[in-house]
Amino acid sequence: MTSTAVRSPQRLPIDRPAPVTGSGIALRGVSKEYPLKRKTSLRALDGLDLEVAPGEFVALLGPSGCGKSTVLRLVAGLEEASAGAVDVEGRPPAQLAREHRLGVAFQEHALLPWASIRSNVALPFQVAGRPVDDRRVDDLLRLVGLGGFENARPKQLSGGMRQRAAIARALALDPDVLLLDEPFGALDAVTRRRMNAELARIWSEQQITTLLVTHDVDEAVLLADRIVVMTGRPGRVRYTCTVDIPRPRGADVTRTPEFHGLVDTLTAMLDSADETA
Ligand code: ADP
């Protein structure tokens, strides 16, 4: 990080690293190369270290193309690192994915269009070959504010409601870890703000280890315990800070100097990311 790249660097919040516990999420020295044509490759990540402590909510910010989604796919066990180690709960992510202990929600909600909201939320039970726990499904539908919409089809719901259903589905099997990749990226600003408040409420009730990829600085500050900012590609951790704003963080928080100070600092850092990549 260059001192000129960030406004008022002396005001940067002090980082308190996540405790090393052997559980939660840990990426150590992770690099990822994607093979391209004619024996060339693209280095998406380069020596990335990142920890999310059990029960912690970490938001990952960074310029477009810096490797945020790659990090999430590695933690979800959908891809393998080219170098370094990725552990979730002290084990390889693919193993946890096979045991259905990772809850994943991406920008595209990917609900089955022909199935009811209830069936969509219950789907992970079927995928895992387990009997559907109807009470759990009811509780989740209530948790995400979709009680009364069980029989609706996805297209009968608003974008925000569909994303809430996707989050309920991600939580269906009571996962150890929740992975969210721009879950509200396709929503308008007002709905997105409402969904941020909903996610904060859901998270405060579950306190599940969560890694959120977002390009929205306000969203990161509203939701996260810690924020990790990545460099431009190849992605590494550039900066980490603890969000010392007490919860619950309602709409009034967004009007405080603490909120604005942190948002400004992080925005300036993202604006200057390409200079330091
Ligand atoms: P972000 O989420 O920060 O926008 P991504 O993780 O999607 O970034 O991508 C990081 C870089 O890796 C980008 O340059 C992207 O084009 C490249 N990339 C991602 N997936 C692949 C792939 N399957 N094959 C080749 N390049 C990829």
CB distance 87 to 26 below 8 Å = yes
Sheet containing 237-242, strands listed edge to edge, beginning at the edge strand earlier in sequence: 102-106, 177-181, 209-213, 57-61, 226-230, 237-242
Distance 3 CA to ligand 1 centre (A): 28
Tell me the three state secondary structure of residue 209. strand
Residue located nearest, by CA, to atom 10 of ligand 1: 67
**Ranges of each domain in the chain:** 1-101+216-277
- Ligand 1: centre distance to CA 32 (Å): 10
Name the residue at shortest CA distance from atom 7 of ligand 1.
69
Which atom, in ligand 1's list, is nearest to the CA of 42? 26
The answer to whether the CB of 166 falls within 8 A of the CB of 184 is no
Residue of 31, 34, 45, 50 with the most ligand 1 atoms within 8 Å of its CB, for mutation: 34
CA distance 23 to 29: 17
Give the predicted TM-score (pTM) of the model: 0.89
Assign residue 8 a region (left: φ > 0; alpha: ψ between -120 and 50; beta: otherwise). Answer: left
Q: Rounded to an integer, what distance in angstroms lies between the CA atom of residue 81 and that of residue 71?
A: 9
List the structure tokens of 183: 């879950």
pLDDT given for residue 6 in this prediction: 37
C-alpha separations of 58 from 34, 47, 78 in Å: 26, 19, 20
Q: Are 61 and 120 in contact (CB under 8 A)?
A: no
- Please check whether residue 18 is in contact with residue 226, taking contact to mean a CB–CB distance below 8 angstroms: yes
Q: Give the atom of ligand 1 at the shortest distance from the alpha carbon of 45.
A: 10
Which numbered atom of ligand 1 lies nearest the CA of 71?
6
Mutation pick for ligand 1 pocket among 31, 40, 41, 70 (CB with most ligand atoms within 8 Å)? 70
Q: Residue 83: its pLDDT value, please? A: 97
Distance, in Å, from the CA atom of 153 to the CA atom of 248, rounded to the nearest integer, reads: 32
For residue 181, the ligand 1 atom closest to its alpha carbon is 2
Pocket lined around ligand 1, Cβ cut-off 6 Å: 34, 42, 44, 62, 64-70, 233
What tokens does 168 get? 């309920």
Upstream peptide bond of 131 is cis (omega within 30 degrees of 0): no
Lookup: tokens for 78: 């959908």
Which residues of the chain register pLDDT less than 50? 1-11, 14, 16-21, 276-277
CATH fold group of domain 1-101+216-277: Rossmann fold (3.40.50)
Task: Decide: helix, strand or coil at residue 106.
Answer: strand
What is the pLDDT at residue 22? 54
Q: Whose CA is nearest to atom 27 of ligand 1?
A: 34
Q: Of all atoms in ligand 1, which is nearest to the CA of residue 64?
A: 4
Residue 238: its H or E element? strand 237-242
The three-class DSSP label of residue 167 is: helix
Atom 5 in ligand 1: residue holding the nearest Cα: 67
